[in-house]
Amino acid sequence: MCGRYSLTITKAALQARFPGALGDPPHEPRYNIAPSQSAPILAAPKGERRWAAMQWGFSMTDGGRLINARAETLTQRPMFRGLLDRFRALVPADGFYEWPKTASAGARPRPVRIVRRDRAPFAFAALWRQAEENSSGEFVILTTRPNALVGPFHDRMPVVLSPEREDEWLDRDRPFAALSAALFEPWDPCEWEAYAVSDAVNRSGRDDPACIDPAPPDGRRTLK
Express each pLDDT in 41-98 by its tens digit. 999 988 889 999 999 999 988 889 999 999 999 999 999 999 999 999 999 999 999 9
pLDDT band at residue 132 using 50, 70 and 90 as cut-offs: low
Nearest residue to 65 via CA among 74, 75, 54: 54
Q: Is 138 marked active-site?
A: no
DSSP state of 111: P
Q: Which residue has the higher pLDDT, 130 or 56?
A: 56
Q: 160 near 123, Cβ under 8 Å?
A: yes
Q: 127 near 70, Cβ under 8 Å?
A: no
Q: Give the global pTM.
A: 0.93
Q: What is the pLDDT of residue 153?
A: 92
**Annotated catalytic residue: which of 48, 98, 164, 190?**
98
pLDDT band at residue 104 using 50, 70 and 90 as cut-offs: low
**Annotated catalytic residue: which of 2, 138, 166, 211?**
2
Q: What is the pLDDT of residue 224?
A: 37
Nearest residue to 5 via CA among 27, 25, 35: 35
Q: Is 2 marked active-site?
A: yes
pLDDT band at residue 107 using 50, 70 and 90 as cut-offs: low
